[in-house]
Amino acid sequence: EVQLLESGGGLVQPGGSLRLSCAASGFTFSSYAMSWVRQAPGKGLEWVSGVSSSGGSAYYTDSVKGRFTISRDNSKNTLYLQMNSLRAEDAAVYYCAIVESSAWYVGDWGQGTLVTVSS
């Protein structure tokens, strides 16, 4: 059974940093690209970042470029999102998700971790 367990969310002040982790199991982690998708309270879905299966290529939405860094450790079956210079508008539930092998569609999703940015 595929499992994606996000952690690392919490309350952070504006300008602060957080590192999200996503522990993956039940599939060959190193064979799949991965993504982070977020959802602000009561709002729609926003794709944040993606990384290739090897970790060699990373992609970001414009609003997080230069502030967020996606990475993965295939030896630990873990996906990361380092978030720096956090803003109020970054507050959301952050989902870790597997990218389909056919194209950059989002297949299985984790349960999400809540990030709150407030002073």
Partner 1 sequence: DIQMTQSPSSVSASVGDRVTITCRASPGISSWLAWYQQKPGKAPKLLISGATSLQSGVPSRFSGSGSGTDFTLTISSLQPEDFATYYCQQAKSFPLTFGGGTKVENK
Residue 54 lies near partner 1 (rule: CB under 8 A): no
Question: Binding to partner 1 (CB under 8 A): which residues in 19-48?
Answer: 35, 37, 44-47
Residues 75, 102, 118, 119: which binds partner 1 (CB under 8 A)?
102
Residue 61 lies near partner 1 (rule: CB under 8 A): yes
Q: What is the DSSP letter of 32?
A: S
Number of residues that bind partner 1 (CB under 8 A): 23
CA 54/CA 40 separation, integer angstroms: 29
CA angle in degrees (0–180, nearest 5) for 16-47-86: 10
Residue 9 lies near partner 1 (rule: CB under 8 A): no
Can you list the pairs that 39-46 forms with residues at least 24 positions away whose Cβ atoms lie under 8 Å? 39/92, 39/93, 39/95, 39/112, 40/89, 40/91, 40/92, 41/91, 41/92, 41/93, 43/92, 46/92
Minimum distance of partner 1 from residue 66's CB (angstroms): 14
Which CB sits closer to partner 1, 15 or 45? 45
- Write out the residues near partner 1 by the rule CB under 8 A: 35, 37, 44-47, 50, 59-62, 95, 100, 102-107, 109-112
